[in-house]
Amino acid sequence: MNSFDKIYAVVRRIPRGTVATYGQIALLAGNPRWARVVGYALHANPDPEGIPCYRVVTKEGRTSPAFAFGGADIQRAMLEADGIEFTADGRVDMERFRWEGA
């Protein structure tokens, strides 16, 4: 299994109503230094329906301005449709919505 496949396997496990960070996905995929690789993998997502890459945000809870499937506004809308709430400054409330997956 290559690095992208490991990343996709982790991202598939993020439940609806939660988010994970790039670093968290990297760690769970086997290498805590892969945060940038996670970004590359999600940008190349071959199965947006099955691999919910929109559920991955920065450690500060920010959406990606380079979100591959329509930009940060689309990512936010998709997260809100999942029940994710944002703070007044436009970030995901990480204390409430961060996935504690292992």
Evaluate whether 16 touches 47 at the Cβ level (below 8 Å): no
Give the active site residue among 53, 57, 79, 84.
53
d(CA 73, CA 75): 5
Least confident span in 23-27, 45-49, 56-60, 62-66: 62-66
Q: Does residue 53 carry a catalytic annotation?
A: yes
For the domain made up of 3-97, give the CATH fold: Arc Repressor Mutant, subunit A (1.10.10)
59-102 pLDDT per residue, tens = 999 998 776 667 668 899 999 999 999 999 999 999 999 998 76
Q: Which two tokens stand for residue 28?
A: 């769970």
Helix axes 3-11, 35-43, angle to 10 degrees: 80
